[in-house]
Amino acid sequence: MDYGVTALPGLPSRVTICEVGPRDGLQNESAVVPVEIKAEFVERLVAAGHTMVEVTSFVPAKWVPQLADAEQLLERLTFADGVRYPVLVPNQRGLDRALALGVRDIAVFASATETFARRNLNRTVDESLTMFAPVVERARAEGLGVRAYVSMCFGDPWEGEVPIAQVVAVARRLMELGCTQLSLGDTIGVGTPGRVAALLDALVADGTPVEHVAVHFHDTYGQALANTLVALQRGVTTVDASAGGLGGCPYAKSATGNLATEDLVWQLHGLGIETGIDLGKLAETSRWMAGVLGRPSPSRAVTALTGA
Ligand code: HMG
Ligand code: MG
């Protein structure tokens, strides 16, 4: 059924979705999904029209056992033309592993808060930036794209409200290292639209062009779509989302699923914003993955479109 398209002024005509389901989604599942299912998941996401799929992490298996098969997954994937397949890389060892498999896009992941930096990276914020510096330098010299996440941009479960100036300071240092894109993480999904606008305004005022900024919302309090709309109004054109709303972070208590890609695509297409994604194919993929995981997708759009 076609329900029509009505544009709103001041929004971009096209948005790139960074699909994080295979990484941010599956890292948080208690069950380890078999590598051949992960490969099929990635291939189906690409077949549904995704041009950016974050596939896995090159971190020690003891830190994220769910993604311990990163090598085996990459070996199974065929990189499609025009599609980027970023992987998370925390250090030089991770970069070695990624380069050995022909990876062309990586993501480093910093924290706006000291507590999460310690829990997620076993480092202070400063030490983690020192760890990333040679990774970013070498990756750029090899011609790779380098995303930089900043986690806990809107709130931290141990520290509470996170000052905007603290987020801006970490973001600036990541951009100074040479990262090509900044992804602002609402790791535990506590942000609300006014805060999103204020943070984006502060970042741009500090000198980070909005073209380099992506947003990464988790939907814990149902704010992810409202937050996204404000980010689009501020000129953001890359939005992270997870097929079927899979996701969370094993090192952040109270982190629930990411913004569901299907919910996002429903909104964007309703606004007349192009994504290149076939919503029916994507929802069918999430219904299939929900079957693999043995529970329904939390995405409203997946439920509405597939009856799952
Ligand atoms: P550490 O334990 O301090 O590491 O962890 P280390 O350097 O002392 O090394 C310990 C052992 O691991 C050594 O082996 C290393 O060789 C090995 P051993 O000598 O004991 O045999 N090692 C590695 N092995 C494989 N691959 C590697 C690697 N590095 C070291 N890359 C470290 C420090 C940074 C490695 C660890 O803290 C880590 O990997 N943390 C990442 C945890 C993670 O992936 N969290 C989830 C992602 S973040 C997230 O979800 C948020 C996000 O979605 C955005 C948002 O929502 O806000 C991105
Ligand atoms: Mg996340």
87-88, strands of its sheet edge to edge: 16-19, 238-241, 213-217, 181-186, 145-151, 105-111, 87-88, 56-57
- What is the number of the ligand closest to the CA of 250? 1
Range 164-168, long-range pairs (CB < 8 A, 24+ positions): 164/198, 164/199, 164/202, 165/202, 166/112, 166/113, 167/112, 167/199, 167/202, 167/203, 168/199, 168/202, 168/203, 168/206
Span 24-54, pLDDT tens digits: 999 988 889 999 999 999 999 999 999 999 9
Average pLDDT taken over every residue of the chain: 96
Tell me: the pLDDT tens digits for 249-286?
667 666 678 999 999 999 999 999 999 999 999 999 99
Mean pLDDT of 94-101: 98
Q: Which residue has the higher pLDDT, 285 or 248?
A: 285
Residue 247 has pLDDT above 90, yes or no: no
Ligand 1 midpoint to CA 210 (Å)? 30
Q: Hey, what are 67's tokens?
A: 């993604």
**Torsional class of 207: left (φ above 0), alpha (ψ -120 to 50), beta (otherwise):** left
Going by C-beta distance under 8 Å and a sequence separation of 6 or more, which residues neighbour residue 169? none
Concerning whether 249 is annotated as a catalytic residue, the answer is: yes
Task: Please state, in angstroms and rounded to a whole number, the distance separating the CA atoms of residues 119 and 302.
Answer: 33
**Structure-block tokens of residue 125:** 């914020």
CB under 5 Å of ion ligand 2: residues: 24
Q: 151 — phi, psi (to 5°)?
A: -85, 165
- Residue 65: both structure tokens together: 């056992």
Classify domain 18-261 at the CATH topology level: TIM Barrel (3.20.20)
Average pLDDT over every residue of 218-229 = 96
The model's confidence at residue 23, banded by pLDDT at 50, 70 and 90, is very high
262 in ligand 1 pocket by Cβ < 6 Å?
no
